Chains A and B, each alone.
Chain A
């Protein structure tokens, strides 16, 4: 059973037990505009909450993406190197950035659930 969490910086964590998919929210992709390049980390790398782990570039600007929790990367979305626009068209689905194992699932409690996030961006 998966559960969605959001950071105030507009990253999402779709958690399934101790593993998760992480990306940027639909609101974030809309704010960034047309995405033309995504720089992703190496599989196996570990990040602490608040670390920059990726850069998403639109035609306009580069945006750093920060780790919403502590994690270790198990997969990166290779399809984005050819089709970075998937982040625009399906941010919460095909536009995922990384898959991870969560170092500490307790940290998810510090994030917002879907309804709290909807209020946050309203």
Chain B
């Protein structure tokens, strides 16, 4: 994680968060609410109804070039995802690698549904803590061919939960036009927005990009629906972990390749053979040999959470792996975690021993997601 010496930046919704009782913390250089009414309440509300998260700390980057075809071909020399075959309005999860195959960031690449003027033909959302770093990597690799712009003037609001589409449908026709991982420009009320059907909670939902100057008005429109309640970073973390979604800087980093991180789907199928992206040699070699360690899901007996940093040991107490995220799963009522174990012991139900405060905690490998994902495979509400 990056450290900032200056005070954390407020987002466009800072005053609203405070007025709603948000407990503010410094997160990746931004002042953001970690919780409002309480983490469990917010988690459960998101699973059952709809919650609004302020994710304005995420980096919103626009890429300009002569055409989508040219820009996507250029980006593919850097990123391992299949980008050239994105249809207008399509979105793709991929990773940014270094030459050793380590993950510099994970990101979502979007082809706008319609031409957006100023030659913008692709947009990318990156992690908050990696913004400046990624921009430098983009510029260095492709600055002579493409123009990259980071939009600090825009907010990002995530409306998440099984009722998100019903709520948004009262204000926009976007839910009826979008399936999971698709985007469209749309007005919400009178506010110009870019609406994408995606999120990081495992639930159906939307991420709405909006000018900072209209963000408060948008939030108030959404909160006018009494089914929508605010949720903070705490619930966002327990929701994403239950949904098996990994978090940059915790479950993967620049020393871990996407094969070991169990993110092979982030590499386009053809590209797994043909390469042609930064880190390709290392990644293709690991793909061929198979990774030594693999990211897995683990459920533990009892109630004691097994958290990031805990060692995974064998019967003799020798360290053989580590936990990278862990919490008490609200929906399962038991501790869950992600971690790395030798790839010889990744079969479901393989026993796992983790050490917490000198004590052995017994668990077993579990299928991820821990809680079924609930994405909208078809447009509609």
Interface residues, chain A, with chain B CB atoms under 8 Å away = 33-34, 36-37, 39, 55, 57-62, 81, 84
Closest Cβ–Cβ distance, residue B370 to chain A (whole Å): 14
Question: How far is B305's CA from A62's CA once the two chains are assembled, in angstroms?
Answer: 8
When distances are taken between beta carbons in the complex, the residues of chain B under 8 Å from A59 are 39-40, 43, 234, 238, 305, 327-328, 330
13 of the cross-chain contacts (CB-CB < 8 Å) are A33-B38, A36-B328, A37-B303, A37-B304, A37-B305, A39-B304, A55-B357, A57-B304, A57-B305, A57-B328, A59-B238, A62-B307, A84-B303
Most buried by B among A55, A57, A59, A84: A59
Q: Is B35 engaged at the interface, CB distance under 8 Å to the other chain? A: yes
Question: How far is B258's CA from A60's CA once the two chains are assembled, in angstroms?
Answer: 27
A interface footprint on B299-337 (CB within 8 Å = 1, 0 otherwise): 000011101000000000000000000011010000000
Question: How far is B305's CA from A58's CA once the two chains are assembled, in angstroms?
Answer: 9
A64, closest chain B residue (CB): B357
Question: Does B304 contact A33, Cβ atoms closer than 8 Å?
Answer: no
Q: Is B34 engaged at the interface, CB distance under 8 Å to the other chain? A: yes
Given contacts A33-B38, A34-B40, A59-B40, 15 further A-B pairs with CB under 8 A are A33-B35, A33-B234, A34-B38, A34-B39, A36-B328, A37-B305, A39-B357, A55-B357, A59-B234, A59-B328, A60-B39, A60-B234, A60-B327, A62-B307, A84-B303
When distances are taken between beta carbons in the complex, the residues of chain B under 8 Å from A57 are 304-305, 328
When distances are taken between beta carbons in the complex, the residues of chain A under 8 Å from B304 are 37, 39, 57
Closest Cβ–Cβ distance, residue B238 to chain A (whole Å): 6
B38, closest chain A residue (CB): A34
A31, closest chain B residue (CB): B23
Question: Does A58 contact B39, Cβ atoms closer than 8 Å?
Answer: yes
- Residue among B43, B234, B328 making CB contact with A37, cutoff 8 Å: B328
When distances are taken between beta carbons in the complex, the residues of chain A under 8 Å from B303 are 36-37, 81, 84
Size of interface on B: residues with Cβ below 8 Å to A: 16
Closest Cβ–Cβ distance, residue B241 to chain A (whole Å): 10
The 10 tightest CB contacts between A and B, nearest first, are A36-B328, A34-B40, A37-B303, A59-B39, A37-B304, A33-B39, A34-B39, A57-B305, A60-B234, A59-B328
Closest Cβ–Cβ distance, residue B209 to chain A (whole Å): 28
When distances are taken between beta carbons in the complex, the residues of chain A under 8 Å from B328 are 36-37, 57, 59
Closest Cβ–Cβ distance, residue B289 to chain A (whole Å): 38
A85, closest chain B residue (CB): B40
Closest Cβ–Cβ distance, residue A11 to chain B (whole Å): 19
A interface footprint on B30-65 (CB within 8 Å = 1, 0 otherwise): 000011001110010000000000000000000000
When distances are taken between beta carbons in the complex, the residues of chain B under 8 Å from A61 are 307
Most buried by A among B238, B327, B330: B327
Question: How far is B134's CA from A117's CA once the two chains are assembled, in angstroms?
Answer: 48
Closest Cβ–Cβ distance, residue B46 to chain A (whole Å): 13
Question: How far is B327's CA from A39's CA once the two chains are assembled, in angstroms?
Answer: 15
Question: How far is B39's CA from A68's CA once the two chains are assembled, in angstroms?
Answer: 29
Most buried by B among A39, A57, A84: A57
When distances are taken between beta carbons in the complex, the residues of chain B under 8 Å from A36 are 303, 305, 328
B307, closest chain A residue (CB): A62
When distances are taken between beta carbons in the complex, the residues of chain B under 8 Å from A34 are 38-40
